[in-house]
Structure 1
Amino acid sequence: MDTREFIQIRKFIVKLGKMLHRYGTPAFRLEAYLTEVATYLGVRSAFISTPTSLTFVLWSDRHEEEYNSAARMLPGDLDLNALSLTDELAIKLLGGELSLSEADQRLDEIDAMQSPYSHRTTLAAFGLATGSFAMLMGASFNEVIWTGLLGLVVYLWALWATRSKRVNLMLEPVTAFASGLLACVVSRYFDPGINIPLIVLSSVIILVPGLAITMGLAELSSRNMVSGTARIMDALMQLFKLYFGAFLGISLGFFLLGENQYEPSASLPYWATWLAVLLLSIALLAIFRTRPKHMLWAIAAAFVSYGTTVGTSLFMEQSMATFAGAFALGIFANLFTRIANQPATIVSMHGLIVLVPGSKTYIGLNTFISGKNFVQAQHIGQEVFLIFMSLVGGLIFANVVMPTKKAL
């Protein structure tokens, strides 16, 4: 291998790794995938991925050429559209349909690509996702509507954060603070007696890092100790910032407008929870930037995981039911990989979002600090831990029963 060819290969691998990192790929999947690509291109490799850094070590068979690179990265956000396109590009490269120079150029095009969903569509998706989550939490019809409206405010903050580093650094506490204060205004002037903590939690649920904690535990289970620990600590810090912002906003609202007296109202009927799962899965299509050809798969994944969990909970404990839901989701995601030849992450993330106990972690934090529950919950800390373990265990067993055909 001559120097010019080696330089071309390592530039492509570094660019590919950085892009996949930005799309929220877990460390163990990213490292395995890059190793697979590097092996095909004829170079030896070693990679170390963490949520905030990415290290590349590449060398030729006889060490005529060597290259080391360490990049400081920001934690990636899920972009399933770009992830899918990048994987398709790598498949064509490995299949000999594209040359390395053509693949490199195509990577630049994908990297510059905008979301397939407009800002208006994503705005509506935030409102729909937060409102439907409130339905899952047993909120009344009025509380669902108010939650959806506050979800629109959260999206405006999230959009501003993409254009301002200062706002991005304070996104979690400031959005939770704004939601808490606005919920107090709603309770004082428009709808007295609403469940303010539940509305605030539901309105910021997109920012609650339950999914990040699950990914961190999965990385720890795969012996990626540094990445898993860093991801979990980052997620816990996000959770603390959200809770502090909500606590400050509600406290200021009560001080200025008077304390709210919660008056329980009739929850929506049971069938509304299934409608909520449908609406939540539809909203996540835009939030996760899912490609149109994967929409039905993604919605089906949400119903597979939730339906299995609800069905098995009739004769199992909640933690075992969650294990069954995660196991069914893992089988479904690996089946998707075999049929569509696309990363399992594309559908598994939609199913995990209705299973991960990020909201219960928030509730447990509230109970620990204030001594009060704003929803009916007993032994919340133990339940959260068992559910997290069940999620990771279910996905691991699914990969044993039906191994995935792709590293991503």
Structure 2
Amino acid sequence: MDTKEFIQIRRFILKLGKMLHKYGTPSFRLEAYLDEVARYLGVYASFISTPTSLSVVIWSDRHEEEYSHNARLDPGELDLNSLSLTDELANLLLSGQLTLEEADKRLSAIDAMPSPYGKLITGCSYGLSTGAFGMLMGASWSEILWSGLFGLVVYLWVLWSERSKRVTLMLEPVAAYVVALLACFASRYADPGINIPLIVLSSIIIFVPGLALTMGLAELSSRNMVSGTARIMDAMMQLFKLYFGAYLGVATGFSLFGENTYAPEPSLPYWSTWLAVLLLAFGLVAIFRTRAKHIPWALLSAFIAYSATALSSDYLPQNLGSFVGAFTLGVFANAFTRFANQPATIVAMHGLIVLVPGSKTYIGLNSFVSGQDFVNAEHIGQDVFIIFMSLVAGLIFANVVFPTKKAL
């Protein structure tokens, strides 16, 4: 291998790694995928990925050429559209349909690509997802409406954070503070008796890091100790920031507008739960930037995960039902990779959002600090721990019983 070819290969691998990191790929999947690409391109490589860095060492067969690179990166965010396009590009390269030079140009084009849904649809998706989560948590119709409206407020802060680095640094606590303040205002002048903490949780649910906690535990189970620990600690700090912002906002609102007395309303019918799952999955399509051709798969994954959990809970303890849901979801996602030749993450994330107990973690933190529960949640700490373990175990068992053909 001559020097020019080696330079071209390592530039492509490095760019591919940084892009996959940017799109929120878990470390153990990123490292395995890059290793496959490197071996196909005829070089040896070693990769170490964490949520905030990527280290790469590449060398030729007889060490005629060797290259090392360490990069400090921002934590990635899920972009399933770019992830899918990048994987398709890598497949074309590995099948010989593209040259390295052509693949490198297309990578740059994918990296510069905006969201396929635009800001208006994405904003509506925030309102739809937050309202649907409130419905899933048993909120009343008025509380669902407030959750959706405040979800739009949260999206305005997200848009501002894209233009201001200072807002980015304080996005989660400030958004939670503003939502909590608005909820107190609404309870005083528009809709007395609403469940303020539930509305606040539903409105900021996009920020609650249940998925990040699950990914961190999955990385720890795959022996990616540094990445898993870092991801879990980052998720915990994000959770603390969210709760502090909400706690401060409610305290300020009660001081300005007076305290709210919660007046429970009749529960919604059982069918509303399934409607909530559908609306939540639809809302996540634009937020996760899922490609149009993958939308049916994504919606189906959410229903499969939730229905498997709900049905198994009739025969198992409810928190162990998550194991069955995660196992079923894992098998479905791995089957998707064989059928569509796309990363399992594309459909698995929609199902995991329905399963992960990020909201229960927030509720448990509220119970610990205030000593009050705003939903019926006994033994919340034990439930959260068992559900997290059940999710990770279910995904591991699924990969053993029906392994995926792709590292992503």
Paired letter, 1:376: N
Question: Which residue is equivalent to 1:28?
Answer: 28
Question: Which residue is equivalent to 1:369?
Answer: 369
- Partners of 2:346 and 2:182 lie apart in 1 by 35
Displacement, 1:266? 1.5
- Partners of 1:164 and 1:33 lie apart in 2 by 34
CA deviation map 1:262-306 (0-9, x unaligned): 111112111000000000000110000000000000000000000
Question: Which residue is equivalent to 1:302?
Answer: 302
Question: Which residue is equivalent to 1:78?
Answer: 78
Question: Which residue is equivalent to 1:203?
Answer: 203
Question: Which residue is equivalent to 1:268?
Answer: 268
Displacement, 1:157? 0.4
Question: Which residue is equivalent to 1:248?
Answer: 248
Question: Which residue is equivalent to 2:67?
Answer: 67
- Partners of 1:201 and 1:319 lie apart in 2 by 21
Q: Secondary structure of 1:207's match?
A: coil
Displacement, 1:245? 0.1
Q: Percent identity?
A: 72
Paired letter, 2:237: M
- Partners of 1:302 and 1:11 lie apart in 2 by 38
- Partners of 2:258 and 2:341 lie apart in 1 by 57
Q: Secondary structure of 2:354's match?
A: coil
CA deviation map 1:98-127 (0-9, x unaligned): 000000000000000011001000000000
Q: Secondary structure of 2:269's match?
A: coil
Aligned pair 1:185/2:192, yes or no?
A: no
Displacement, 1:201? 0.3
- Partners of 2:61 and 2:162 lie apart in 1 by 43
CA deviation map 1:226-258 (0-9, x unaligned): 000000000000000000000000000000110
- Partners of 2:319 and 2:97 lie apart in 1 by 46
Question: Which residue is equivalent to 1:393?
Answer: 393
- Partners of 2:118 and 2:162 lie apart in 1 by 15
Displacement, 1:162? 1.3
Displacement, 1:320? 1.8
Aligned pair 1:44/2:18, yes or no?
A: no
The answer as to whether partners of 1:130 and 1:202 remain within 8 angstroms in 2 is yes
Question: Which residue is equivalent to 2:3?
Answer: 3
- Partners of 1:265 and 1:276 lie apart in 2 by 18
- Partners of 1:36 and 1:164 lie apart in 2 by 38
Paired letter, 1:247: Y
- Partners of 1:150 and 1:196 lie apart in 2 by 12
- Partners of 1:263 and 1:341 lie apart in 2 by 51
Paired letter, 2:115: S
Q: Secondary structure of 1:57's match?
A: strand
Matches within 5 A, 1:2-401: 2-401=2-401
- Partners of 1:265 and 1:161 lie apart in 2 by 36
Paired letter, 1:108: S
* CA RMSD after TM alignment: 0.5
Paired letter, 1:9: I
Number of positions where the alignment pairs a residue of Structure 1 with one of Structure 2: 408
Paired letter, 1:343: P
Paired letter, 2:269: P
Stretches of structure 1 lacking an aligned partner (at least 5 in a row): none
The answer as to whether partners of 1:334 and 1:402 remain within 8 angstroms in 2 is yes
Paired letter, 2:172: E
Q: Secondary structure of 1:363's match?
A: helix
The answer as to whether partners of 1:51 and 1:75 remain within 8 angstroms in 2 is yes
Displacement, 1:340? 0.2
- Partners of 1:338 and 1:344 lie apart in 2 by 9
CA deviation map 1:192-250 (0-9, x unaligned): 00000000000000000000000000000000000000000000000000000000000
Runs of 4+ in 1 over 3 A off after TM superposition: none
